[in-house]
């Protein structure tokens, strides 16, 4: 049986065009700063987001952690939403890598407001843990792919700038957010001091994330990358996959969003589903009926050839991506409707 893969958009495989481009990539030693393909990718993203510099690294976790360690000192704190990837899913890296604390806020589907942030900044008092970074996530993975409005980002950015608090964006799925709102990379470059961008999620590259920021920040981040063991050599084949993704696989993200909406509509009619979180991008989070357990539901769906992920005990997550087309959507509908699950 052909499995329908909806656990994550990280399951995408390089397309034929991407593989060809990778094989043809000019290469060099990136630790010496001599891989032309890596340099081209970094320059492309720095220019796109209108930042001075960029740094290519193996994962989104590493690019977030580089940004935190390059910005926040031991004993200071990062302010973020309680659903943040940097807090929940990076192995305690804020503490382990930067020696920093974290102040968690409860936002709306993972989105914070300027007033919440304002109220959370530590007072200028020797007893307090000094607030040294605000980190937002967009789209919010655990918020079901929720996105920030431009108005909200204008307010938060102006506030942080006026108070000299560095503002970081975990933009693992930033291109999904832009596909919905029409905001541009330059808008984000204006709002944020640092942005991490994943190439290996919806964009469909096999590996890689890029951190953008100003030159002195990226220099510090590069030292952190080396310390974390992320200095790499002929990484250009991966960089070229990223360039290919940016050139050819951004416009199609809208299709993923449409198919995600279709999945939510199908799921809402199932008797074992209570409701779905609002679908804005490529993530569908389904709440199952009380008394059911997400892991057992996921196991039952796997028997029907549908792979999805438990998201806590009461929720199941489906993520659409370039490996899931309209035929797969039809097959998904047939299979999930035939699932007698209780």
Ligand X SMILES: *Cc1c(COP(=O)(O)O)cnc(C)c1O
Contacting residues toward ligand X, per CB under 6 A: 59-61, 64, 85, 137, 141, 170, 172, 198, 200-201, 209
CA dihedral sign of residues 137, 139, 145, 149 = positive
> What is the spatial order of strands in the sheet that 131-137 belongs to?
53-57, 209-213, 194-198, 167-171, 131-137, 77-81, 101-105
Instruction: Report the residue number, 10 or 76, with the smaller CB distance to ligand X.
Output: 10
State the residue number with the nearest CB to ligand X.
60
Instruction: Report the residue number, 51 or 85, with the smaller CB distance to ligand X.
Output: 85
Query: Phi and psi for 13 in degrees, rounded to 5?
Result: -110, 150
Reported as half-sphere exposure (CB side, CA atoms, 13 A), residue 165 has a value of: 26
Q: Tell me the closest approach of the beta carbon of residue 64 to ligand X, in angstroms.
A: 6
Q: Tell me the closest approach of the beta carbon of residue 334 to ligand X, in angstroms.
A: 29
Tokens of 43: 């320059």
**Cβ–Cβ < 8 Å for 117, 156:** yes
Q: Tell me the closest approach of the beta carbon of residue 308 to ligand X, in angstroms.
A: 16
* Cβ neighbours of 257 (radius 10 Å): 20
Instruction: Report the residue number, 26 or 323, with the smaller CB distance to ligand X.
Output: 323
Q: Tell me the closest approach of the beta carbon of residue 84 to ligand X, in angstroms.
A: 8
Instruction: Report the residue number, 143 or 236, with the smaller CB distance to ligand X.
Output: 143
Tokens of 114: 């300027």
Q: Tell me the closest approach of the beta carbon of residue 127 to ligand X, in angstroms.
A: 32
Instruction: Report the residue number, 106 or 337, with the smaller CB distance to ligand X.
Output: 106
**Dist. CA 336–CA 341, nearest whole Å:** 10
Q: Which string of DSSP letters, residue by residue, matches 73-113?
A: -TT-EEEEETT-HHHHSSTTHHHHHH--EEEEE--BTTB--
Q: CA-CA distances (angstroms) from residue 58 to 4, 5, 231, 302?
A: 27, 23, 9, 30
Instruction: Report the residue number, 136 or 237, with the smaller CB distance to ligand X.
Output: 136
Instruction: Report the residue number, 170 or 187, with the smaller CB distance to ligand X.
Output: 170
DSSP 321: -
Q: Tell me the closest approach of the beta carbon of residue 110 to ligand X, in angstroms.
A: 9
Q: Tell me the closest approach of the beta carbon of residue 224 to ligand X, in angstroms.
A: 15
**Cβ–Cβ < 8 Å for 112, 156:** yes
Instruction: Report the residue number, 37 or 63, with the smaller CB distance to ligand X.
Output: 63
What SS3 class is residue 17?
A: helix
**Cβ–Cβ < 8 Å for 54, 43:** yes
CA dihedral sign of residues 273, 290, 320, 156 = positive
Q: Tell me the closest approach of the beta carbon of residue 265 to ligand X, in angstroms.
A: 24
Instruction: Report the residue number, 168 or 201, with the smaller CB distance to ligand X.
Output: 201
What SS3 class is residue 133?
A: strand
**Dist. CA 143–CA 274, nearest whole Å:** 17
Q: Tell me the closest approach of the beta carbon of residue 108 to ligand X, in angstroms.
A: 17
């Amino acid at each position: 049986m052909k499995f329908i893969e909806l656990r994550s958009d990280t399951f995408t495989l390089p397309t034929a065009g991407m593989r060809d481009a990778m094989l043809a990539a000019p290469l060099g030693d990136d630790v010496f700063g001599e891989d032309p393909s890596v340099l081209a990718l970094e320059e492309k993203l720095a220019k796109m987001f209108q930042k001075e510099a960029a740094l290519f690294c193996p994962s989104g976790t590493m690019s977030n952690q580089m940004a935190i360690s390059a910005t926040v000192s031991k004993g200071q704190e990062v302010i973020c939403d309680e659903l943040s990837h940097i807090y929940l899913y990076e192995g305690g890296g804020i503490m382990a890598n930067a020696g920093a604390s974290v102040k968690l806020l409860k936002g709306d589907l993972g989105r914070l407001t300027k007033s919440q942030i304002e109220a959370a900044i530590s007072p200028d008092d020797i007893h307090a843990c000094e607030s040294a970074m605000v980190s937002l996530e967009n789209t919010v993975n655990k918020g079901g792919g929720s996105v920030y409005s431009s108005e909200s980002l204008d307010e938060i950015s102006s506030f942080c700038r006026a108070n000299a608090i560095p503002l970081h964006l975990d933009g693992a799925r930033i291109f999904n957010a832009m596909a919905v709102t029409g905001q541009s990379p330059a808008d984000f470059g204006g709002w944020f001091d640092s942005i991490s961008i994943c190439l290996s999620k919806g964009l469909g590259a096999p590996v890689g994330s890029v951190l953008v920021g100003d030159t002195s920040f990226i220099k510090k981040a590069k030292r952190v990358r080396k310390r974390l063991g992320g200095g790499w050599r002929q990484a250009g084949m991966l960089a070229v996959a990223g360039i290919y993704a940016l050139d050819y696989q951004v416009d199609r993200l809208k299709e993923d969003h449409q198919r995600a909406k279709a999945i939510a509509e199908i799921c809402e009619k199932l008797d074992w589903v209570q409701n779905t979180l609002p679908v804005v991008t490529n993530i569908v989070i389904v709440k199952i009926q009380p008394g059911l357990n997400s892991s057992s539901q996921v196991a039952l769906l796997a028997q029907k050839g549908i792979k999805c992920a438990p998201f806590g005990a009461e929720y199941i997550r489906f993520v659409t991506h370039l490996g899931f087309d309209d035929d797969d959507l039809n097959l998904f509908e047939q299979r999930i409707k035939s699932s007698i699950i209780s």
